[in-house]
Amino acid sequence: MVCPLVDDADDGNELDDVPENVRASQAQLHSATATAERLATQILSGMRVGLLHGRMGAAEKDEVMGQFRAGRLDVLVSTTVIEVGVDVPNATVMLVHDADRFGLATLHQLRGRVGRGDLSGTVYLECNAKKGTPARKRLDALEATADGFELAELDLRLRHEGEVLGYRQSGGVTLRVSDLSSDADLVEWAHGDARALAERDPGLESAVLRPLAHEVHDRFGGYFEEVAR
Protein backbone atom coordinates (compact mmCIF):
# COMPACT_ATOMS: atom_id res chain seq x y z
CA MET A 1 0.00 0.00 0.00
CA VAL A 2 1.52 3.31 -1.08
CA CYS A 3 0.80 6.73 0.46
CA PRO A 4 2.09 10.15 -0.61
CA LEU A 5 2.95 11.40 2.92
CA VAL A 6 5.06 10.02 5.74
CA ASP A 7 2.76 11.26 8.51
CA ASP A 8 -0.30 13.44 8.93
CA ALA A 9 1.76 16.49 9.88
CA ASP A 10 3.11 16.75 6.30
CA ASP A 11 1.25 18.99 3.85
CA GLY A 12 2.38 17.39 0.59
CA ASN A 13 4.04 20.50 -0.83
CA GLU A 14 7.40 18.75 -0.86
CA LEU A 15 6.26 16.08 -3.29
CA ASP A 16 8.50 16.40 -6.35
CA ASP A 17 6.43 14.63 -8.96
CA VAL A 18 3.07 16.33 -8.43
CA PRO A 19 1.46 18.47 -11.15
CA GLU A 20 1.16 22.06 -9.94
CA ASN A 21 -2.62 22.27 -10.37
CA VAL A 22 -2.99 19.24 -8.11
CA ARG A 23 -0.34 20.34 -5.62
CA ALA A 24 -2.51 23.30 -4.60
CA SER A 25 -5.34 21.02 -3.48
CA GLN A 26 -6.14 21.24 0.21
CA ALA A 27 -7.58 17.72 0.42
CA GLN A 28 -6.29 15.61 3.29
CA LEU A 29 -3.86 13.03 1.97
CA HIS A 30 -3.09 9.57 3.27
CA SER A 31 0.07 9.20 5.30
CA ALA A 32 1.99 5.95 5.61
CA THR A 33 2.36 6.18 9.39
CA ALA A 34 -1.34 6.74 10.13
CA THR A 35 -2.46 4.22 7.51
CA ALA A 36 -0.19 1.49 8.89
CA GLU A 37 -1.43 2.12 12.42
CA ARG A 38 -5.08 2.05 11.33
CA LEU A 39 -4.61 -1.17 9.41
CA ALA A 40 -2.73 -2.91 12.21
CA THR A 41 -5.15 -1.91 14.98
CA GLN A 42 -8.49 -1.86 13.16
CA ILE A 43 -9.02 -2.99 9.57
CA LEU A 44 -6.41 -5.76 9.43
CA SER A 45 -5.90 -6.44 13.13
CA GLY A 46 -4.24 -9.79 13.58
CA MET A 47 -2.25 -9.47 10.37
CA ARG A 48 1.40 -8.49 10.20
CA VAL A 49 1.64 -4.92 8.91
CA GLY A 50 4.97 -3.25 8.14
CA LEU A 51 5.88 0.40 7.63
CA LEU A 52 8.53 1.81 5.30
CA HIS A 53 9.41 5.42 4.46
CA GLY A 54 12.36 7.61 3.59
CA ARG A 55 12.90 9.03 7.06
CA MET A 56 13.88 5.65 8.43
CA GLY A 57 17.53 4.74 8.67
CA ALA A 58 19.10 2.50 6.05
CA ALA A 59 19.44 -0.45 8.43
CA GLU A 60 15.83 -0.15 9.55
CA LYS A 61 14.58 0.02 5.96
CA ASP A 62 16.63 -3.03 5.03
CA GLU A 63 15.19 -4.92 7.99
CA VAL A 64 11.60 -4.14 7.00
CA MET A 65 12.19 -5.07 3.36
CA GLY A 66 13.90 -8.27 4.45
CA GLN A 67 10.87 -9.23 6.53
CA PHE A 68 8.49 -8.47 3.66
CA ARG A 69 10.60 -10.39 1.15
CA ALA A 70 10.77 -13.39 3.49
CA GLY A 71 7.00 -13.43 3.99
CA ARG A 72 7.13 -12.37 7.64
CA LEU A 73 4.91 -9.37 6.83
CA ASP A 74 1.46 -9.70 5.26
CA VAL A 75 1.07 -6.04 4.27
CA LEU A 76 3.64 -3.31 3.66
CA VAL A 77 2.60 0.34 3.90
CA SER A 78 5.12 2.61 2.25
CA THR A 79 5.85 5.93 0.60
CA THR A 80 7.48 6.05 -2.85
CA VAL A 81 10.73 4.85 -1.30
CA ILE A 82 9.86 1.52 -2.97
CA GLU A 83 9.65 3.16 -6.41
CA VAL A 84 12.86 1.58 -7.70
CA GLY A 85 15.27 -1.15 -6.68
CA VAL A 86 12.74 -3.32 -4.83
CA ASP A 87 12.24 -6.89 -6.02
CA VAL A 88 9.79 -8.98 -4.00
CA PRO A 89 8.49 -11.84 -6.19
CA ASN A 90 5.62 -12.72 -3.83
CA ALA A 91 4.16 -9.17 -3.91
CA THR A 92 1.11 -9.32 -6.18
CA VAL A 93 -1.30 -6.55 -5.13
CA MET A 94 -0.71 -2.81 -4.72
CA LEU A 95 -3.08 -0.05 -3.65
CA VAL A 96 -1.92 3.52 -4.32
CA HIS A 97 -3.76 6.08 -2.21
CA ASP A 98 -4.23 9.60 -3.65
CA ALA A 99 -2.90 8.41 -6.99
CA ASP A 100 -3.54 11.82 -8.56
CA ARG A 101 -0.76 13.19 -6.34
CA PHE A 102 1.85 11.23 -8.28
CA GLY A 103 3.22 11.84 -11.76
CA LEU A 104 2.90 9.21 -14.46
CA ALA A 105 6.59 8.31 -14.26
CA THR A 106 6.33 7.54 -10.55
CA LEU A 107 3.12 5.55 -10.93
CA HIS A 108 4.65 3.55 -13.77
CA GLN A 109 7.66 2.71 -11.61
CA LEU A 110 5.47 1.82 -8.64
CA ARG A 111 3.32 -0.66 -10.50
CA GLY A 112 6.46 -2.43 -11.64
CA ARG A 113 7.07 -3.48 -8.03
CA VAL A 114 4.32 -6.13 -8.09
CA GLY A 115 3.88 -9.18 -10.27
CA ARG A 116 7.62 -9.74 -10.57
CA GLY A 117 7.38 -13.45 -9.79
CA ASP A 118 5.36 -16.29 -11.32
CA LEU A 119 2.04 -14.69 -10.38
CA SER A 120 0.60 -11.65 -12.14
CA GLY A 121 0.23 -8.36 -10.29
CA THR A 122 -2.79 -6.12 -9.79
CA VAL A 123 -2.59 -2.38 -9.03
CA TYR A 124 -5.48 -0.27 -7.70
CA LEU A 125 -5.35 3.52 -7.99
CA GLU A 126 -7.49 5.45 -5.50
CA CYS A 127 -8.17 9.18 -5.77
CA ASN A 128 -10.89 11.83 -5.51
CA ALA A 129 -10.33 13.27 -9.00
CA LYS A 130 -13.53 13.51 -11.03
CA LYS A 131 -14.00 11.83 -14.40
CA GLY A 132 -12.83 14.02 -17.28
CA THR A 133 -10.39 16.08 -15.20
CA PRO A 134 -6.70 16.23 -16.19
CA ALA A 135 -5.83 14.08 -13.18
CA ARG A 136 -8.21 11.34 -14.22
CA LYS A 137 -7.03 11.53 -17.83
CA ARG A 138 -3.49 10.86 -16.61
CA LEU A 139 -4.66 7.83 -14.64
CA ASP A 140 -6.74 6.59 -17.57
CA ALA A 141 -3.63 6.78 -19.74
CA LEU A 142 -1.69 4.75 -17.20
CA GLU A 143 -4.42 2.13 -17.25
CA ALA A 144 -4.41 2.00 -21.04
CA THR A 145 -0.70 1.35 -21.64
CA ALA A 146 2.39 -0.13 -20.03
CA ASP A 147 4.74 1.55 -22.51
CA GLY A 148 7.06 3.75 -20.46
CA PHE A 149 8.12 5.89 -23.45
CA GLU A 150 4.50 6.60 -24.39
CA LEU A 151 3.71 7.59 -20.81
CA ALA A 152 6.79 9.84 -20.64
CA GLU A 153 5.65 11.68 -23.77
CA LEU A 154 2.15 12.09 -22.34
CA ASP A 155 3.57 13.34 -19.04
CA LEU A 156 5.59 15.93 -20.95
CA ARG A 157 2.52 17.13 -22.86
CA LEU A 158 0.45 17.39 -19.69
CA ARG A 159 3.01 18.92 -17.32
CA HIS A 160 5.40 20.59 -19.81
CA GLU A 161 9.13 20.63 -19.39
CA GLY A 162 9.59 22.77 -16.30
CA GLU A 163 13.00 24.43 -16.24
CA VAL A 164 15.24 22.86 -18.84
CA LEU A 165 18.22 24.54 -17.14
CA GLY A 166 17.02 24.65 -13.54
CA TYR A 167 15.36 22.63 -10.81
CA ARG A 168 11.60 22.85 -11.40
CA GLN A 169 10.51 19.51 -12.89
CA SER A 170 7.17 20.63 -14.31
CA GLY A 171 5.19 23.74 -15.12
CA GLY A 172 4.53 26.11 -17.98
CA VAL A 173 6.41 26.12 -21.23
CA THR A 174 9.75 27.87 -20.70
CA LEU A 175 11.26 27.55 -24.17
CA ARG A 176 10.64 30.57 -26.40
CA VAL A 177 10.62 29.07 -29.89
CA SER A 178 9.73 25.41 -29.44
CA ASP A 179 7.62 23.01 -27.43
CA LEU A 180 9.39 19.81 -26.38
CA SER A 181 6.16 17.81 -26.61
CA SER A 182 5.37 18.76 -30.23
CA ASP A 183 8.71 19.79 -31.72
CA ALA A 184 10.75 16.67 -31.00
CA ASP A 185 12.13 16.61 -34.55
CA LEU A 186 13.22 20.26 -34.32
CA VAL A 187 14.93 19.62 -30.97
CA GLU A 188 16.74 16.61 -32.43
CA TRP A 189 17.96 18.60 -35.44
CA ALA A 190 19.13 21.46 -33.21
CA HIS A 191 20.99 18.99 -31.01
CA GLY A 192 22.75 17.55 -34.05
CA ASP A 193 23.76 21.02 -35.24
CA ALA A 194 25.04 21.93 -31.79
CA ARG A 195 27.17 18.77 -31.57
CA ALA A 196 28.65 19.39 -35.02
CA LEU A 197 29.46 23.00 -34.09
CA ALA A 198 31.08 21.96 -30.80
CA GLU A 199 33.23 19.36 -32.56
CA ARG A 200 34.38 21.87 -35.18
CA ASP A 201 35.12 24.73 -32.78
CA PRO A 202 34.71 23.67 -29.11
CA GLY A 203 35.68 27.07 -27.72
CA LEU A 204 33.65 29.08 -30.24
CA GLU A 205 36.86 31.00 -30.87
CA SER A 206 36.53 31.79 -34.56
CA ALA A 207 35.56 35.33 -35.53
CA VAL A 208 32.27 34.24 -37.04
CA LEU A 209 31.26 32.41 -33.84
CA ARG A 210 32.43 35.08 -31.37
CA PRO A 211 28.96 36.70 -31.10
CA LEU A 212 27.51 33.27 -30.34
CA ALA A 213 30.16 32.73 -27.64
CA HIS A 214 29.17 36.02 -25.95
CA GLU A 215 25.47 35.07 -26.12
CA VAL A 216 26.15 31.64 -24.60
CA HIS A 217 28.19 33.22 -21.81
CA ASP A 218 25.49 35.77 -20.99
CA ARG A 219 22.62 33.26 -21.01
CA PHE A 220 24.16 30.15 -19.51
CA GLY A 221 27.20 31.29 -17.55
CA GLY A 222 25.22 31.00 -14.33
CA TYR A 223 24.51 27.32 -14.99
CA PHE A 224 27.81 25.93 -16.24
CA GLU A 225 31.32 26.65 -14.96
CA GLU A 226 32.81 25.86 -18.37
CA VAL A 227 30.69 28.60 -19.96
CA ALA A 228 31.43 31.08 -17.18
CA ARG A 229 35.14 30.73 -17.83
What is the chain's pLDDT, residue by residue, as a tens digit (229 residues)? 999 999 988 876 655 455 555 555 556 899 999 999 999 999 999 899 999 999 999 999 999 999 999 999 999 999 999 887 778 888 999 999 999 888 888 888 898 899 888 888 999 999 988 888 878 888 888 888 887 777 777 766 666 544 445 444 444 445 555 565 566 777 788 889 989 988 999 888 899 888 888 888 887 777 666 665 5
Q: Within a domain: residue 216?
A: yes
Count up the domains in the chain and report the number: 2
CA 210 to each of CA 134, 158, 207, 216: distance values in angstroms, whole numbers, following the listed order:
46, 38, 5, 10
147 and 188, same domain (yes or no): no
49 and 154, same domain (yes or no): yes
Type of residue found at 46: G
142 and 188, same domain (yes or no): no
Q: 23 and 103 in contact (C-beta within 8 Å)?
A: no
pTM of the full structure: 0.66
How far apart, in whole angstroms, are the C-alpha atoms of residue 180 and residue 13?
26
Alpha helices in the chain (DSSP H): 20-23, 32-38, 58-69, 104-111, 134-144, 148-159, 184-200, 210-220, 225-228
46 and 135, same domain (yes or no): yes
Beta-carbon contacts of residue 198 (< 8 Å; ≥ 6 apart): none
Q: What is the pLDDT of residue 169?
A: 44
Q: Within a domain: residue 7?
A: no
- Other beta carbons within 10 angstroms of residue 11's beta carbon come to 12
155 and 206, same domain (yes or no): no
- Give residue 211's domain range: 184-228
Q: Within a domain: residue 65?
A: yes
219 and 138, same domain (yes or no): no
Q: Within a domain: residue 45?
A: yes
135 and 201, same domain (yes or no): no
How far apart, in whole angstroms, are the C-alpha atoms of residue 190 and residue 133?
35
Q: Within a domain: residue 91?
A: yes
210 and 127, same domain (yes or no): no
53 and 132, same domain (yes or no): yes
